[in-house]
Amino acid sequence: MSETVRFQFGKGEQVRFISHLDLMRCMERSFRRAGIMLSHTEGFNPHPKLSFGLPLPVGVISKACYMDAVIEDLLPMEELIQRLNKALPEGLKVFHAVIPEDKKAVMSLVSHARYLFVVKPLDCPIDVFTDEIKNILNQESVYIEKETKKKSKMINIKDMIQSYEVKQDGDNVVMEIMCDAGSVSNLNPMLIWKAIAMYTDYKSELPSVERLGLYKTENGKPVPVI
Protein backbone atom coordinates (compact mmCIF):
# COMPACT_ATOMS: atom_id res chain seq x y z
CA MET A 1 0.00 0.00 0.00
CA SER A 2 1.39 3.40 -0.99
CA GLU A 3 1.86 6.26 1.48
CA THR A 4 2.68 9.96 1.15
CA VAL A 5 5.86 11.00 2.95
CA ARG A 6 6.86 14.65 3.44
CA PHE A 7 10.60 15.32 3.36
CA GLN A 8 12.52 18.37 4.53
CA PHE A 9 15.81 18.75 2.71
CA GLY A 10 18.55 21.29 2.14
CA LYS A 11 20.06 22.82 -0.99
CA GLY A 12 23.57 24.03 -0.23
CA GLU A 13 26.32 26.09 -1.82
CA GLN A 14 27.46 23.30 -4.15
CA VAL A 15 24.09 23.20 -5.95
CA ARG A 16 22.80 26.74 -5.46
CA PHE A 17 22.80 27.43 -9.21
CA ILE A 18 20.92 24.35 -10.44
CA SER A 19 17.38 24.99 -11.67
CA HIS A 20 14.24 23.61 -10.08
CA LEU A 21 13.73 21.31 -13.09
CA ASP A 22 17.22 19.87 -12.65
CA LEU A 23 16.54 19.46 -8.93
CA MET A 24 13.38 17.46 -9.67
CA ARG A 25 15.27 15.17 -12.06
CA CYS A 26 18.06 14.73 -9.53
CA MET A 27 15.59 13.72 -6.82
CA GLU A 28 13.89 11.18 -9.11
CA ARG A 29 17.25 9.57 -9.93
CA SER A 30 18.24 9.56 -6.26
CA PHE A 31 15.08 7.70 -5.25
CA ARG A 32 15.90 5.06 -7.87
CA ARG A 33 19.52 4.75 -6.72
CA ALA A 34 18.34 4.48 -3.11
CA GLY A 35 16.03 1.57 -4.02
CA ILE A 36 12.95 3.49 -2.88
CA MET A 37 10.00 2.76 -5.16
CA LEU A 38 7.77 5.72 -5.99
CA SER A 39 4.18 5.44 -7.14
CA HIS A 40 3.55 6.66 -10.69
CA THR A 41 0.68 8.40 -12.40
CA GLU A 42 -1.41 6.45 -14.88
CA GLY A 43 -1.72 7.08 -18.61
CA PHE A 44 0.54 7.10 -21.65
CA ASN A 45 3.32 9.05 -19.96
CA PRO A 46 3.46 7.99 -16.30
CA HIS A 47 5.72 9.98 -14.00
CA PRO A 48 6.71 9.63 -10.34
CA LYS A 49 4.32 11.07 -7.77
CA LEU A 50 6.78 13.61 -6.46
CA SER A 51 5.78 17.21 -5.69
CA PHE A 52 7.69 20.12 -4.19
CA GLY A 53 7.00 23.07 -1.96
CA LEU A 54 7.87 26.59 -3.06
CA PRO A 55 10.84 26.32 -5.48
CA LEU A 56 14.00 28.19 -4.55
CA PRO A 57 15.15 30.93 -6.91
CA VAL A 58 18.44 30.05 -8.58
CA GLY A 59 21.33 31.16 -6.37
CA VAL A 60 19.42 30.91 -3.08
CA ILE A 61 20.36 28.25 -0.52
CA SER A 62 18.13 26.71 2.16
CA LYS A 63 17.72 23.97 4.72
CA ALA A 64 13.95 24.48 4.46
CA CYS A 65 12.99 22.80 1.18
CA TYR A 66 10.08 20.37 1.12
CA MET A 67 8.79 17.60 -1.11
CA ASP A 68 5.99 15.05 -0.96
CA ALA A 69 6.70 11.58 -2.31
CA VAL A 70 4.15 8.79 -2.69
CA ILE A 71 6.11 5.67 -1.78
CA GLU A 72 5.30 2.02 -2.42
CA ASP A 73 6.35 -0.48 0.27
CA LEU A 74 6.91 2.12 2.98
CA LEU A 75 10.11 1.90 5.05
CA PRO A 76 10.87 3.40 8.49
CA MET A 77 11.46 7.15 8.28
CA GLU A 78 15.08 6.95 9.45
CA GLU A 79 15.88 4.32 6.81
CA LEU A 80 14.31 6.47 4.09
CA ILE A 81 16.47 9.41 5.18
CA GLN A 82 19.66 7.33 5.32
CA ARG A 83 19.08 5.73 1.92
CA LEU A 84 18.32 9.02 0.22
CA ASN A 85 21.30 10.81 1.74
CA LYS A 86 23.63 8.09 0.46
CA ALA A 87 22.19 8.51 -3.03
CA LEU A 88 22.03 12.31 -3.19
CA PRO A 89 24.89 14.39 -4.63
CA GLU A 90 26.96 16.71 -2.46
CA GLY A 91 25.01 19.82 -1.58
CA LEU A 92 21.64 18.09 -1.16
CA LYS A 93 20.69 16.53 2.18
CA VAL A 94 17.47 15.23 3.76
CA PHE A 95 16.89 16.26 7.39
CA HIS A 96 13.38 15.05 8.27
CA ALA A 97 10.68 12.73 6.97
CA VAL A 98 7.12 12.45 8.28
CA ILE A 99 3.76 11.09 7.20
CA PRO A 100 1.67 14.28 7.05
CA GLU A 101 -1.65 14.37 8.86
CA ASP A 102 -2.95 16.84 6.29
CA LYS A 103 -2.94 15.17 2.88
CA LYS A 104 -2.99 18.49 1.00
CA ALA A 105 -0.07 19.04 -1.36
CA VAL A 106 2.80 20.78 0.40
CA MET A 107 2.75 23.67 -2.10
CA SER A 108 -0.89 24.42 -1.28
CA LEU A 109 -0.03 24.76 2.44
CA VAL A 110 2.72 27.37 2.10
CA SER A 111 1.73 30.92 3.06
CA HIS A 112 4.97 32.60 4.25
CA ALA A 113 8.74 32.38 3.88
CA ARG A 114 11.59 33.79 5.94
CA TYR A 115 14.80 34.91 4.20
CA LEU A 116 18.25 36.01 5.34
CA PHE A 117 20.19 38.51 3.22
CA VAL A 118 23.87 39.27 3.84
CA VAL A 119 25.38 42.09 1.78
CA LYS A 120 28.55 44.19 1.83
CA PRO A 121 28.52 47.86 0.70
CA LEU A 122 31.21 48.99 -1.75
CA ASP A 123 31.17 52.79 -1.68
CA CYS A 124 29.93 53.92 1.73
CA PRO A 125 30.43 53.21 5.45
CA ILE A 126 28.55 50.23 6.82
CA ASP A 127 26.42 52.31 9.20
CA VAL A 128 25.32 54.61 6.37
CA PHE A 129 24.30 51.65 4.21
CA THR A 130 22.45 50.03 7.11
CA ASP A 131 20.43 53.20 7.72
CA GLU A 132 19.73 53.50 3.99
CA ILE A 133 18.19 50.02 3.86
CA LYS A 134 16.16 50.68 7.00
CA ASN A 135 14.81 53.89 5.49
CA ILE A 136 13.76 52.08 2.31
CA LEU A 137 11.97 49.29 4.17
CA ASN A 138 10.34 51.77 6.55
CA GLN A 139 8.50 53.46 3.70
CA GLU A 140 4.76 52.79 3.41
CA SER A 141 5.16 51.82 -0.25
CA VAL A 142 8.08 50.28 -2.14
CA TYR A 143 7.15 49.76 -5.79
CA ILE A 144 9.12 47.55 -8.17
CA GLU A 145 8.47 46.17 -11.64
CA LYS A 146 7.63 42.46 -11.66
CA GLU A 147 8.09 40.68 -14.97
CA THR A 148 6.15 37.59 -16.03
CA LYS A 149 6.24 35.57 -19.25
CA LYS A 150 3.45 37.66 -20.79
CA LYS A 151 3.75 41.10 -19.22
CA SER A 152 5.26 43.25 -16.50
CA LYS A 153 3.52 45.22 -13.77
CA MET A 154 4.36 47.44 -10.83
CA ILE A 155 3.82 45.89 -7.40
CA ASN A 156 4.15 47.24 -3.87
CA ILE A 157 6.39 44.77 -2.08
CA LYS A 158 5.61 46.34 1.30
CA ASP A 159 2.12 44.83 1.03
CA MET A 160 3.78 41.39 1.02
CA ILE A 161 6.41 41.93 3.73
CA GLN A 162 5.11 40.86 7.16
CA SER A 163 8.15 41.74 9.26
CA TYR A 164 11.82 42.62 8.88
CA GLU A 165 14.97 43.25 10.88
CA VAL A 166 18.08 45.05 9.61
CA LYS A 167 21.39 45.14 11.51
CA GLN A 168 25.14 45.40 11.11
CA ASP A 169 27.38 42.35 11.40
CA GLY A 170 31.02 43.30 10.96
CA ASP A 171 31.47 44.61 7.41
CA ASN A 172 28.06 43.31 6.30
CA VAL A 173 24.44 44.35 6.54
CA VAL A 174 22.17 41.48 7.60
CA MET A 175 18.45 41.52 6.80
CA GLU A 176 15.91 38.95 7.98
CA ILE A 177 12.56 39.26 6.22
CA MET A 178 9.27 37.37 6.62
CA CYS A 179 7.09 37.72 3.53
CA ASP A 180 4.17 36.24 1.62
CA ALA A 181 4.92 32.98 -0.18
CA GLY A 182 2.94 30.30 -1.96
CA SER A 183 0.18 30.04 -4.52
CA VAL A 184 -2.02 32.89 -3.21
CA SER A 185 0.58 35.67 -2.80
CA ASN A 186 4.27 35.18 -3.41
CA LEU A 187 7.21 37.58 -3.10
CA ASN A 188 10.42 36.43 -4.77
CA PRO A 189 13.33 37.36 -2.46
CA MET A 190 15.32 38.64 -5.42
CA LEU A 191 12.61 41.26 -6.00
CA ILE A 192 13.22 42.52 -2.47
CA TRP A 193 16.87 43.07 -3.25
CA LYS A 194 16.07 44.52 -6.70
CA ALA A 195 13.91 47.14 -4.99
CA ILE A 196 16.57 48.02 -2.43
CA ALA A 197 19.23 48.31 -5.14
CA MET A 198 16.95 50.56 -7.19
CA TYR A 199 16.09 52.94 -4.35
CA THR A 200 19.54 53.26 -2.78
CA ASP A 201 22.21 55.70 -3.96
CA TYR A 202 25.01 53.33 -2.98
CA LYS A 203 26.61 50.29 -4.58
CA SER A 204 27.12 46.90 -2.97
CA GLU A 205 28.14 43.36 -3.70
CA LEU A 206 25.40 40.94 -4.69
CA PRO A 207 23.83 39.59 -1.49
CA SER A 208 24.01 36.01 -0.33
CA VAL A 209 20.44 34.84 0.26
CA GLU A 210 19.23 31.94 2.39
CA ARG A 211 15.67 30.82 2.96
CA LEU A 212 15.43 30.12 6.68
CA GLY A 213 11.93 28.67 6.74
CA LEU A 214 8.67 27.93 4.96
CA TYR A 215 5.45 28.34 6.89
CA LYS A 216 1.78 27.45 6.72
CA THR A 217 -0.99 29.35 8.50
CA GLU A 218 -2.74 27.83 11.52
CA ASN A 219 -5.19 29.84 13.64
CA GLY A 220 -4.10 32.99 11.84
CA LYS A 221 -0.39 32.53 12.64
CA PRO A 222 2.52 31.18 10.55
CA VAL A 223 3.93 27.85 11.76
CA PRO A 224 6.66 25.68 10.16
CA VAL A 225 5.53 23.30 7.41
CA ILE A 226 7.10 20.44 9.41
**Which pLDDT tens digit goes with each residue over 21-42?**
999 999 999 999 999 999 999 8
pLDDT of the residue at 146: 86
CA–CA dist 64, 113 (Å, integer): 9
Q: Which residues contact 77 (CB under 8 A, 6 or more apart)?
A: 5, 97, 98, 99
Each residue's pLDDT tens digit, 98-155: 999 888 889 999 999 999 999 999 988 999 999 999 999 999 999 999 887 788 889 9
- Phi then psi for residue 121, to 5 deg, are -70, 155
pLDDT of the residue at 148: 77
Each residue's pLDDT tens digit, 62-72: 999 999 999 99
Q: Which residues contact 48 (CB under 8 A, 6 or more apart)?
A: 28, 31, 38, 39, 40, 69
pLDDT of the residue at 6: 96
Q: What is the mean pLDDT of the chain?
A: 93
Residues in the chain: 226
121 by Cβ neighbours in 10 Å (0-12 / 13-18 / 19+) ranks as buried
The kind and range of the H/E element at 179 are strand 172-180
The pLDDT of 78-104, averaged and rounded, is 95
Q: What is the CA radius of gyration of the chain?
A: 19
Contact 105, 190 (CB under 8 A): no
pLDDT band at 44 (very low <50, low <70, confident <90, very high): confident
Each residue's pLDDT tens digit, 155-208: 999 999 999 999 999 999 999 999 999 988 999 999 999 999 999 988 888 899
pLDDT of the residue at 62: 97
- pTM for the complete prediction? 0.92
The pLDDT of 55-76, averaged and rounded, is 94
* Domains identified in the chain and CATH numbers: 3-103 (3.30.70.580), 109-224 (3.30.2350.10)
CA 69, 73, 76, 78 dihedral sign is: negative
